[in-house]
């Protein structure tokens, strides 16, 4: 190096620190770094007074957010548009020692717990790693890694695993198994006595309802897999970690080796869990049979403060139309969970429902514990539900005063909106446990009922049920609800659940807006629906004419039906729309509220829905839905169809006479009208 060059270099080194010290390349790497917009950290020289510090910042509309007294520094907030100008000027200010952004800091690695198979758990932390041959989309996960910086769970939180049992000796689960305090005295575990008086002898670690004994070991694998996702021990150097590192898992077996179990055993398990203090239960099972007893058990669990997390099912079915139970039970403590994949899409097999399924969670290629101390991948909403149950356990440890409904509101309102899920689940998104546990005194409101797109009979009360909490706790929050800007009186249950009702006029479009306020911020949620006119119609009785006068207005007709009764429907006298096809749709709704017959399109020529046999007892409804902005009238005739007449006739024998009862007149066939009986116009 020549001497002149050395002189120049020394000169630069001497001149640089003259006033405020800039961030040169030695301190600020060339790669872009993340920082908080609109904030600077400013260090002042010794002897600069607080007033002088404020004046220096005030020239650029800067305000002191926090002082670091021992190092003469401040965290300042400024209008984002003025940050760069202020930074350059402050660097030249003789009172300033340094100016720097408020950088965002991360751990050096992915921050993984010390579990060797953690990177298989893409649902907890997805950075695009390849799992089971699939490289996912970064951040299509529940943000568990970030949530663990706030909470890793608590052994005081108990989750009931209502399933096929649990491998209680598994190295990743043994430390997590719940022990019944009422059966844990010296010798109590095996003394053959019901020490806690709950009707189960020696139930020191749960119960096997399938076999009627105190050994809830898993002879199937499903329950062990579920348990590991909820709460496998974290950072123990073994296998995987659950969503909640520290939790107590209550094994409640009602499913056998053949993956089936009875409703009665499930009901017993639900009641056991809530009676023994499980704040959350995971229910990764289902069917299409409605059980009033199971609904009562779920409601009893709600009374005991137990959240009921349920898998939505794996039939690729819209459960708004074909319910799946227990996920479709209407109770305030139920969360219904769909499955998502590593790209934030709904898993191909997962049930869905814009009103009946609440949220999605990772449910494909889920790696978890398996009996015999092993691990394996599984798919299903059965694997998605325990992600939510584990998140509930984590949130319960972060907010010890949370109620079951409070946890529901917090988790659902914390979901990440995802475009591909917007029409699949009610939240329109995927679980995010990090957002939930970082709630800071903020209001959370969840409008549990009515659901989006609801229809109510004009003149009938519309039940309203909302959950309003401060994060997940019922204290320090106020709630209100309006229907079409009219305030509705609410009754508080005391745990964050509020109920009320509104009786609408006919033909009214309705908007229900729920709100909550707390010290950390407010929250609102709204749904829209319609009040429809309602008239009775009798099978075999007189025709009924309905008229709609407002665009979007529907009409409902109802009748009482019995299983095996046969009916047919004629549509005539149509003035709705102007076309000969598809200006309206008519559908039948079953007594359970699901769609029995899918919508049949009609036009100005009317048409006919041929004989159908009713499958259930109860009240059926006929929904008339004019399309678009069409309005008008139509006449419906509901026929009571008698049994078919049977007889015999022999080739070459005497003539046979066939008689029939009153037959509905059908629309004659014409090329422009379509085939009669098809429902088309």
Through-space distance between the first and last CA atoms of the chain, rounded to whole angstroms: 95
Q: How many CB atoms lie within 10 A of CB 138?
A: 13
Q: What angle do CA 177, 179, 180 make, to 5 degrees?
A: 145
Distance (Å, rounded) from C-alpha 183 to C-alpha 205? 9
Query: Going by C-beta distance under 8 Å and a sequence separation of 6 or more, which residues neighbour residue 27?
Result: none
Angstrom CA distances, 136 to 228, 340, 557, stand at: 22, 12, 49
β-pairing, 429-430 with 416-417?
antiparallel
Output the six-digit token pair for 442. Answer: 């903020």
Output the six-digit token pair for 575. Answer: 């003035």
Output the six-digit token pair for 431. Answer: 């679980």
Q: How many CB atoms lie within 10 A of CB 391?
A: 32
Give me the sign of the Cα torsion angle 591, 593, 596, 598. Answer: positive
Query: Going by C-beta distance under 8 Å and a sequence separation of 6 or more, which residues neighbour residue 70?
Result: none
DSSP label at residue 639: E
Bridge partners (DSSP) of residue 570 are: 608, 637
Output the six-digit token pair for 461. Answer: 């009360």
Question: Which of the residues are catalytic?
Answer: 163, 222, 382
Distance (Å, rounded) from C-alpha 164 to C-alpha 216? 8
Whose tokens are 């409601």? That residue is 299
Output the six-digit token pair for 246. Answer: 């520290």
Contact (Cβ atoms closer than 8 angstroms) between residue 99 and residue 90: yes
Distance (Å, rounded) from C-alpha 164 to C-alpha 307? 20
Question: How many residues in total does the chain contain?
Answer: 681
Q: What angle do CA 307, 141, 234 make, to 5 degrees?
A: 70
Is the backbone peptide bond immediately before 326 cis, with ω within 30 degrees of 0?
Answer: yes
Bridge partners (DSSP) of residue 534 are: 556
Angstrom CA distances, 77 to 106, 307, 588, 660, stand at: 22, 41, 60, 86
β-pairing, 334-340 with 307-311?
parallel
Angstrom CA distances, 360 to 197, 312, 341, 363, 567, stand at: 40, 9, 9, 9, 40
The torsion region of residue 356 among left (phi > 0), alpha (psi -120 to 50) and beta comes to alpha
The torsion region of residue 611 among left (phi > 0), alpha (psi -120 to 50) and beta comes to beta
Largest CA distance in the chain: 131
Contact (Cβ atoms closer than 8 angstroms) between residue 353 and residue 286: no
Distance (Å, rounded) from C-alpha 503 to C-alpha 510? 11
Q: Is 283 helix (H, G, I), strand (E, B) or coil?
A: strand
Angstrom CA distances, 214 to 203, 266, 297, 469, stand at: 5, 16, 22, 38
Distance (Å, rounded) from C-alpha 412 to C-alpha 426? 9
Contact (Cβ atoms closer than 8 angstroms) between residue 597 and residue 616: no
Output phi, psi for 543, to 5 deg: -60, 155
């Amino acid at each position: 190096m020549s001497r002149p060059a050395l002189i120049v270099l020394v000169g630069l080194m001497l001149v640089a620190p003259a006033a405020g010290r800039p961030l040169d390349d030695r301190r600020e790497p060339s790669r872009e770094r993340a920082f908080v917009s609109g904030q600077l950290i400013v260090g002042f020289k010794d002897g600069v007074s607080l007033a002088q510090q404020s004046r220096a910042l005030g020239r650029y509309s800067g305000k002191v957010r926090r002082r670091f007294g021992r190092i003469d520094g401040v965290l300042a907030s400024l209008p984002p548009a003025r940050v760069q100008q202020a930074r350059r000027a402050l660097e030249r200010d003789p009172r300033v020692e340094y100016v720097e952004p408020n950088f965002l800091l991360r751990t050096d690695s992915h921050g993984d717990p010390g579990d060797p198979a953690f990177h298989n758990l893409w649902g907890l932390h997805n950075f695009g790693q390849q799992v089971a041959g699939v490289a996912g989309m970064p951040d299509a996960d529940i943000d568990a890694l970030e949530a663990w910086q706030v909470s890793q769970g608590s052994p005081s939180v108990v989750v009931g695993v209502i399933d096929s049992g649990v491998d209680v000796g598994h190295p990743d689960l043994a430390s997590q198994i719940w022990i019944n305090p009422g059966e844990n005295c010296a010798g109590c575990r095996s003394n053959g006595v019901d020490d806690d008086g709950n009707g189960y002898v020696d139930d020191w670690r749960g119960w096997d309802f399938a076999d009627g004994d105190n050994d809830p070991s898993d002879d199937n694998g499903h329950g062990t897999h579920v348990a590991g996702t909820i709460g496998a021990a974290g950072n123990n150097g073994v296998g995987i970690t659950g969503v909640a590192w520290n939790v107590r898992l209550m094994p409640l077996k009602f499913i056998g080796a053949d993956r089936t179990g009875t409703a009665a055993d499930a009901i017993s398990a639900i009641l056991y869990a809530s009676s023994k203090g499980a704040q959350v239960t995971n229910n990764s099972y289902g069917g299409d049979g409605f059980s009033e007893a199971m609904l009562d058990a779920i409601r009893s669990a709600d009374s005991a403060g137990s959240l009921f997390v349920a898998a939505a099912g794996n039939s690729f079915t819209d459960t708004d139309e074909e319910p799946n139970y227990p996920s479709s039970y209407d109770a305030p403590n139920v969360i219904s969970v769909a499955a998502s994949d590593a790209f934030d899409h709904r898993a191909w097999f997962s049930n869905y429902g814009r009103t009946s399924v609440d949220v999605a969670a990772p449910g494909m290629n889920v790696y978890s514990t398996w009996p015999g101390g092993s691990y394996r991948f599984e798919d299903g909403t059965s694997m998605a539900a325990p992600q939510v149950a584990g998140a509930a356990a984590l949130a319960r440890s972060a907010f010890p005063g949370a109620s079951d409904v409070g946890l529901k509101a917090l988790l659902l309102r914390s979901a990440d909106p995802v475009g591909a899920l917007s029409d699949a689940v009610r939240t329109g998104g995927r679980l995010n446990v990090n957002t939930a546990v970082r709630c800071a005194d903020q209001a959370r409101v969840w409008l549990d009922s009515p659901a989006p797109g609801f229809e109510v009979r004009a003149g009938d009360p519309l039940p309203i049920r909302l959950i309003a909490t401060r994060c997940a706790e019922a204290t320090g929050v106020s709630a209100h609800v309006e229907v079409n800007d009219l305030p509705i009186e609410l009754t508080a249950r005391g745990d964050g659940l509020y109920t009320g009702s509104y009786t609408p006029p006919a033909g009214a479009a309705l908007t229900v807006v729920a709100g909550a306020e707390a010290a950390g911020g407010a929250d609102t949620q709204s749904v829209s629906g319609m009040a429809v006119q309602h008239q009775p119609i009798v099978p075999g009785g007189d025709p009924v004419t309905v008229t709609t006068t407002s665009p979007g207005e529907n009409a409902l007709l109802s009748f009482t039906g019995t299983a095996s009764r046969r009916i047919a429907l004629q549509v005539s006298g149509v003035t709705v729309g102007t076309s000969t096809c598809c200006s309206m749709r008519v559908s039948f709704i079953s007594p359970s509220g699901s769609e029995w017959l899918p919508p049949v399109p009609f036009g100005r020529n009317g048409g006919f829905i041929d004989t159908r046999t009713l499958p259930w007892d109860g009240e059926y409804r006929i929904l008339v839905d004019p399309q678009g902005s069409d309005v008008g009238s139509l006449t419906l005739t509901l026929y009571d169809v008698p049994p078919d007449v049977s007889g015999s006739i022999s080739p070459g024998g005497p003539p046979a006479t066939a008689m029939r009862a009153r037959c509905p007149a059908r629309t004659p066939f014409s090329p422009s009208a379509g085939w009669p009986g098809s429902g088309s116009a």
